[in-house]
Amino acid sequence: MPYVNVMVAGSLDGDQKKRIAEGITNILHEVAGKKPDTTYVVFSEVERDNWAVGGRLLSEKS
C-alpha cells in the first residue's frame, strides 16, 4: 500500500491535484507494480509564510 505525501508551497486547484494524483498512481503501477486502488496520495499545502529556504521565507522571495 503506497502512501505518497506531496508537499507544495502555496495551493493547487482541483484539476492540478487530480492530474498529479493520477500521474503518481500510474507511475507506481507501471514501475513498481502497485495496485492503483491501494495507492494513497495526500496533498499538504503549506502557506509561503510557513516555508523557508536559505534562511528566508518563501513569501519574501519574488
Q: What is the pLDDT of residue 61?
A: 77
Cα(26)–Cα(50) distance, integer angstroms: 31
Q: What is the pLDDT of residue 62?
A: 63
Number of domains in the chain: 1
A 10 A CB-CB count for 25 gives 20
pLDDT along the chain (62 residues), means of 10: 97 98 98 98 97 94 70
Contact predicate 61/50, CB 8 Å: no
CATH number, residue 13 = 3.30.429.10
Q: What is the span of the domain harbouring residue 27?
A: 3-60
Count of residues making up the chain: 62
Cell numbers given for 39: 495507492
Contact predicate 11/46, CB 8 Å: no
Q: What is the pLDDT of residue 30?
A: 98
